[in-house]
Amino acid sequence: MRFVDVLAGAAAISGAVASPTKTVKRASKFDFTGVSESGAEFGNTALPGRLGKDYTWPDHNAISTLIQKGFNTFRIPIMMERIIPNKLTGTVNETYAAGLDDIVTFVTGQGAYAIVDPHNFGRYYNNIITDVAGFGAWWTTVAKRYASNQKVIFDTNNEFHDEDNALVGQLNQAAIDAIRGAGATSQYIFVEGNSWTGAWHWTSSGTSEAMGKLTDPQDKIIYEMHQYLDSDGSGTSAACVSATIGQERIADATAWLKANNKKGVIGETAGGANAQCIQALQGMLSYMADNSDVWKGWLWWGAGPWWADYMYSIEPPSGTAFTKVLPSLTDYI
Question: Which residues are catalytically annotated?
Answer: 159, 268
Nearest CA to 38 among 323, 241, 308, 326?
Answer: 308
Q: Distance between CA atoms of 290 and 287, rounded to whole angstroms?
A: 5
Contact 193, 208 (CB under 8 A): yes
Between the CA of residue 119 and those of 26, 76, 126, 239, 323, what are the distances in Å? 28, 9, 12, 25, 27
Q: CB count, 10 Å around CB of 263? A: 18
Angle at 239 between CA 236 and CA 244, to 5 degrees: 115
- Could you say which DSSP state residue 198 is in? B
Phi, psi of 307 (to 5 degrees): -75, -20
Q: Distance between CA atoms of 178 and 71, rounded to whole angstroms?
A: 29
Between the CA of residue 159 and those of 66, 110, 168, 192, 319, what are the distances in Å? 25, 28, 10, 6, 25
| Alpha helices (runs of H) in 69-131, residue ranges in sequence order | 80-83, 94-109
